Structure 1
Amino acid sequence: MLYITGLAYTRFTLVRNTMPLNWGQLYPYDVYGIRSQRDLTLNVSMNQNVWPAVNLNSVLFDTLNYTYDAMANIPALVTRGASRLFINLYWNSKKNQFQFCPFVEDSTSNSTVTDSPNVNDLIFSYQNRVYACNSTMTVANFLQDIVKNQVILPTDNNLWASVIILTFNLRSPTVAQIANARRKNEIFKRQDDEGPVTSDLVSASSLRAATSTSTSVATTTTINPKSNLGVQIHEVFGDYAYTPSQLTIDRSVTGLTWNESGISNTGWPLLENVLFKTLHRILFSFGEMDIGLDVYDTSVDQDYIFDRNDIPYSGTHVVNYDASFSSTELSEIASPVCSFNNMTKINISGTNITVPPHWLLAQDSSNLTFTADSIRKYLQCGFSPVLNATIAPINSMKEYVISSLSAARWSWAPGQPTEISNSTATAISAGGVVRRCAVLTSSGWQVDNCFAKYRVACRVAKSSYNWTLSDKSVTYYNAPTHCIGDSVFSLPRTAVQNTMLQLLRNNEVDNEPIWIDFNSIAQPNCWVSGGSGAQCTYATQHRILIEVVVPAVAAVIIAVLLARM
């Protein structure tokens, strides 16, 4: 089976046949926007990054049911930028293990297990509605068949790899009756606009070598579903999982962990260390707990699953989206929904909430769903949006997810980056056009002509949030030399840094763009920082070299396309 991941197609084997919805392909600007934002945040500690999140129960399962087909949509969410997933686990006291179905059979009911859309699905009736639950899905099945084999392994290469946080909410199931067989078709009436369909199948052979540096092989391991969660995680993921034990080791080494103030033995490692140096792909944490320690003792998992203090899930780190965050007074970035206190605390406007700038969450609800504008306002304050609304019909749910995850990219403006690629050797005269350099505008980052003249974003050395602008407007190629004193040509690497630079831009140049240190001069669609001479770390086939030749009369710019050996 082929699973579509934007512009790349990865071939792998599924342990079970599943039928996900057709989410469509990503646009090129989605693919390059997601990848470039990942790359520019590699030098940021894990706790200061933004983690766009989806509550799987609210968004997916309540609409699509608790089945393998519904689970098979999770890879599409991750491909589109979801990096944190919340999921409910329900403790079945009879089986002495967790399950994904929110119901257990009413023992007093005279109903019997009836015909269902799938031989392994039970149909429950609850509050005048019916739900399908797969009776064979265990936590180990989910971790292995869905998360590892469909999310981690197909993307285990430097182009597509990302770190995912999976948060478990531990709950008690609801007693419900098995539905009469005549009610099973109600499940499909909720899916009146589109049922589960398979993704388009295309040949991956020609793209495989260009998009992957590793081979993905689906795995099957027999795991006791009654084992504690930590043991199941270890048996499925091994070193793929970054654990509390590893964090303790990292914090014992000076210089490996950071917070908003710098190096700290209570901070977190940089994303680059976790993802590309130690090759971890996933973290697990506990969220809400409706069951007591007498039912399930979470301390047995402390070496594998982060507790709620390590990676917050609620409390003062969560703001519920309400109308006050979309009022007219907050429509301009000059009046953001938060204020900053020396960057050690963030004050939320209209509330008494003051929080440190890490692991911040903002969640919506079915009554008031996120808009693209409200998501951007939260991002300006460093909050990660949590999609938490139950929406029907299915097409509306898909649009809600797609638009929200697209808006959750705090860097690029909508529809960006879009560049003009030079595929052949081209002579470029002074004043020519090379659309390979990034500017900060009022709507976000955009691709612009590297020969255009704008003022330059200069970050004050040893200060993550203090910016200045160059006195003169210059081309991108001359930008580094116009950051004077202890400032350097740079770019924002967090959403909050971007907010601080945006405020400065608004105050000093109004609607004019400013240069930031991000370009794809070396290779089309490979965005890097480090000035015009920065190398692309992915591709080694071609590079466009800009050579400045100064004759007696005028300067001539020559672009030479070189084939690398």
Structure 2
Amino acid sequence: MSVQYDSSATLTNATWLAVILSERDVAGQIPLNYVTNPAVSLSAACFGNRIYDRDNAAKCFSNLLAIGYRRLVVDLYWSVNRRTWFFCPVSIPISSGATVSSESKRRDSETGDDDSPDPTLYELGSYKCTDDLDPDTLAEVLVGYFKDTNDQLTVYTTYLILNIHVAASVSTPDEPASAISGAQLPSETERAGSILGTALGEFIYTPAQLASDRSNLNESWYKVDQSYMPITEYFTVHENEKGEQSTPDGWPSSKYIQLAKRDRVLIEYGSVDPQLVHYNLSTPDNSVFLPGYLTSDVKVSATTNGTLTSGCLYEPGLTRVSQTNSSWAISNHLPVPGGLSTDETMDSLAYVLSNLTACGLSPMLNTTLFGQTADQQVDYYRNVSLSSSWAWAIGEPHDANYAGGDGDPKYDRCAIMDLTLEGHWRSMNCTEQRRGACRIGNSPFSWVLSNKSDTFSNVPNTCPPGSSFAVPRTGLENTYLYKYLLSLPETKVDLSSTDPALREVFVNFNSRDITSCWIPSGYDSTCPYASDPQQLERQTVLVAAIAGIIILIITALTFFVKCNANRRNSRRRKRVIEGWEYEGVPS
């Protein structure tokens, strides 16, 4: 029986929605490999209790996708006897030989049928596994998620990192598996990448597509609308004598992937167990990236209060992206402090996560939070996902659920960086006067302060020559701006000063046109969604429904009018077709 994506666990808070959407949009032209995303290990978040049940797993996968996790680290185990991949770390027997759990027996007794179609839950050492939890379960949930989130407001890129293992023997379920070779290995069509590549084919951005796009930028990334093009300061560009441009190391932007190509997922092989040393990582359709293409592990260390002591990619004085080595940077170690209350632990985690993204790292959750999986207690996992935000301060942007528009001056619709909030942003009144953040040339990490304080609409006119009013587009860009502002003589004061001009700086981000639709392109720019993002989808459905009803009414009226007219003019008209005489139906 198939499973479906369950979207009941969503980001329903208006402020949360504004944070996630605005950070996606401000980074829309940054190449994928420099955009941080919250990552999670499915083994920890869904199977930390060592129970591998298909229905619970589908709910867990759905919850994690719905609450904002973009990178899913997937552990799959090759069962030699079943010749298939399972999430269960132990090879499930084909016939009897393992203990059937009391849960399965209970289901059978309740149905009164020992041959119940419900999947059997086997007790395999310290694990409990059903025999139907395979990669297709994840693929079915992902396909449902992609179809459910396919408009401009809800579309995001997902990454699958496949760690592959050999399932342990049923006779020694808690011992490492033996090495396999020859006919024991998966065939070409049985490889994990091939299975997921086939199931998700229409949604995948593949290595073959990347190679093709890189070879001729004029016919790929540069052929689309300018707002979808990746920012070239983030990669190397070569040009031949024909004027054709190419790149050896560039990646497309999320806008290009999501909106121009309509692709949704990239798949990479992560770790491969030594027992699979002879495993062939290639796939027939070249749909899976080899290890290291989408992941660059960065070791970090932190104090007990969450301050990073090593691993941060911010380095004073650097101005070029190539100097930071932050491509696909991810921290696989998320320190979870012990001995604290739940609230204290979550606060500490939030601080660590904020520091990681500010340092240009995607944080990965590799822990079962408080002993509960994400299908049991989604709130813990939602809070961790939201704590991966790098731009806004907690509770910001406020007025996110205000339904007004037209630049109402009574409401705070422009963004400032607040130095007292470690460089995070707040929304404030656009008519207030502050200095502005100006980017030097097109450099991601080089900033200068505007010459004087002014209203948001006039700040662009006060940027020094060679610079322009701008907004940080990643956590690392934001940190470079924050550290630059702290280094200025005029900000080397008590940051608790009552003079806000000493601690607040405008960044080029506003929602003057539509509430919750934050735009990085100037004071008078319009929201690309043409409506309040929180209402657009509902309005679209309503308009479509009304249009459908009107069409049905018009069709019915046309049919009846025509019908009556024909009856008056051609009552009981006879027709002969191929020798058969029948009563004519009015046409």
TM range (shorter): 0.7 to 0.9
Residue in 1 aligned with 2:271?
288
Residues 1:254 and 2:240 aligned together: no
Structure having the higher strand fraction is 1
Deviation at 1:123, TM superposition (A): 3.0
Residue in 2 aligned with 1:190?
none
Matching residue within 142, 151, 155 for 1:147: 142
Deviation at 1:15, TM superposition (A): 3.6
Q: 1:99 to 1:226 in 2, by over 3 A?
A: farther
Kindly provide the CA deviation profile for residues 370-403 of structure 1, in whole angstroms up to 9, marking residues without a partner as x: 7111112211220000000123342896454222
Deviation at 1:438, TM superposition (A): 0.7
Residue in 2 aligned with 1:502?
482
Deviation at 1:232, TM superposition (A): 2.6
Query: How do 1:17-96 residues align onto structure 2 when only pairs under 5 Å count?
Result: 23=9, 25-63=11-49, 65-68=51-54, 69-96=56-83
Residue in 2 aligned with 1:229?
192
Question: Aligned partners of 1:397, 1:321: CA distance in 2, in Å?
Answer: 28
Deviation at 1:249, TM superposition (A): 0.4
What's the Cα RMSD here?
3.5
Residue in 2 aligned with 1:419?
399
Q: 1:356 to 1:325 in 2, by over 3 A?
A: farther
Residues 1:134 and 2:130 aligned together: yes
Residue in 1 aligned with 2:435?
455
2:123 counterpart letter in structure 1: F
Asked if the contact 1:420/1:435 (under 8 Å) is kept, the reply is no
Question: Aligned partners of 1:515, 1:29: CA distance in 2, in Å?
Answer: 20
Residue in 1 aligned with 2:163?
169
Residue in 2 aligned with 1:532?
523
Deviation at 1:360, TM superposition (A): 0.7
SS class of match (1:485): coil
Q: 1:30 to 1:420 in 2, by over 3 A?
A: closer
Structure having the higher helix fraction is 2
Query: How do 1:441-452 residues align onto structure 2 when only pairs under 5 Å count?
Result: 441-442=418-419, 443=421, 444-452=424-432
Question: Aligned partners of 2:98, 2:532: CA distance in 1, in Å?
Answer: 66
Deviation at 1:140, TM superposition (A): 2.5
Residues 1:339 and 2:315 aligned together: yes
Residue in 1 aligned with 2:261?
278
Question: Aligned partners of 1:427, 1:62: CA distance in 2, in Å?
Answer: 49
Q: 1:499 to 1:229 in 2, by over 3 A?
A: same
Question: Aligned partners of 2:123, 2:335: CA distance in 1, in Å?
Answer: 23
Residues 1:99 and 2:95 aligned together: no
1:164 counterpart letter in structure 2: T
Kindly provide the CA deviation profile for residues 463-485 of structure 1, in whole angstroms up to 9, marking residues without a partner as x: 11100111211111111111130
Query: How do 1:477-496 residues align onto structure 2 when only pairs under 5 Å count?
Result: 477-496=457-476
SS class of match (2:396): coil
Residue in 2 aligned with 1:5?
none
Question: Aligned partners of 1:147, 1:81: CA distance in 2, in Å?
Answer: 13
2:86 counterpart letter in structure 1: Q
Residues 1:390 and 2:368 aligned together: yes
2:366 counterpart letter in structure 1: N
Deviates more, 1:263-272 or 1:481-490: 263-272
Question: Aligned partners of 1:305, 1:425: CA distance in 2, in Å?
Answer: 45
Rg larger in structure: 2
Q: With structure 2 as the length reference, what TM-score do the two structures score? A: 0.71
Residues 1:409 and 2:385 aligned together: no
Q: 1:240 to 1:17 in 2, by over 3 A?
A: closer
SS class of match (1:61): coil
Residue in 2 aligned with 1:435?
412
1:233 counterpart letter in structure 2: L
SS class of match (1:286): strand
Deviation at 1:107, TM superposition (A): 10
Asked if the contact 2:90/2:124 (under 8 Å) is kept, the reply is no
Asked if the contact 1:109/1:177 (under 8 Å) is kept, the reply is no
SS class of match (1:503): helix
Deviation at 1:322, TM superposition (A): 4.7
Question: Aligned partners of 1:113, 1:225: CA distance in 2, in Å?
Answer: 33
Asked if the contact 2:101/2:128 (under 8 Å) is kept, the reply is no
Residue in 2 aligned with 1:186?
none
Question: Aligned partners of 1:358, 1:426: CA distance in 2, in Å?
Answer: 39
1:120 counterpart letter in structure 2: P
Q: With structure 1 as the length reference, what TM-score do the two structures score? A: 0.73
Question: Aligned partners of 2:309, 2:458: CA distance in 1, in Å?
Answer: 39
Matching residue within 501, 515, 518 for 2:509: 518
Deviation at 1:160, TM superposition (A): 0.2
Question: Aligned partners of 2:407, 2:394: CA distance in 1, in Å?
Answer: 31
Unaligned runs of 5+ in 1: 1-13, 180-223, 348-354, 543-565
Deviation at 1:96, TM superposition (A): 2.1
2:349 counterpart letter in structure 1: T
Question: Aligned partners of 1:253, 1:536: CA distance in 2, in Å?
Answer: 32
Residue in 1 aligned with 2:568?
none
SS class of match (1:299): coil
Question: Aligned partners of 1:85, 1:33: CA distance in 2, in Å?
Answer: 21
Asked if the contact 1:420/1:434 (under 8 Å) is kept, the reply is no
Kindly provide the CA deviation profile for residues 470-504 of structure 1, in whole angstroms up to 9, marking residues without a partner as x: 12111111111111301111100111110011112
SS class of match (1:457): strand
Deviates more, 1:107-116 or 1:490-499: 107-116
Deviation at 1:238, TM superposition (A): 2.5
2:318 counterpart letter in structure 1: N
Question: Aligned partners of 2:484, 2:317: CA distance in 1, in Å?
Answer: 17
Residue in 2 aligned with 1:552?
none
Q: 1:517 to 1:248 in 2, by over 3 A?
A: same
Residue in 1 aligned with 2:353?
375
Residue in 1 aligned with 2:251?
268
Q: 1:95 to 1:289 in 2, by over 3 A?
A: same
Kindly provide the CA deviation profile for residues 47-102 of structure 1, in whole angstroms up to 9, marking residues without a partner as x: 11112100110122123722221232223222322110001010111122211111
Q: 1:451 to 1:391 in 2, by over 3 A?
A: same
Deviates more, 1:153-162 or 1:108-117: 108-117
Deviation at 1:168, TM superposition (A): 0.4
Residue in 1 aligned with 2:123?
124
Deviation at 1:176, TM superposition (A): 4.5
Deviation at 1:235, TM superposition (A): 2.8
Q: 1:41 to 1:426 in 2, by over 3 A?
A: closer
Deviates more, 1:297-306 or 1:361-370: 361-370
Asked if the contact 2:312/2:360 (under 8 Å) is kept, the reply is no
Deviation at 1:40, TM superposition (A): 0.8
Asked if the contact 1:90/1:99 (under 8 Å) is kept, the reply is yes
Residue in 1 aligned with 2:539?
none
Question: Aligned partners of 1:356, 1:407: CA distance in 2, in Å?
Answer: 24
Q: 1:273 to 1:23 in 2, by over 3 A?
A: closer
Deviation at 1:540, TM superposition (A): 4.8
SS class of match (2:522): coil
2:148 counterpart letter in structure 1: P
Asked if the contact 1:90/1:100 (under 8 Å) is kept, the reply is yes
Q: 1:541 to 1:371 in 2, by over 3 A?
A: closer
Asked if the contact 1:67/1:121 (under 8 Å) is kept, the reply is no
SS class of match (2:36): coil
Asked if the contact 2:90/2:168 (under 8 Å) is kept, the reply is yes
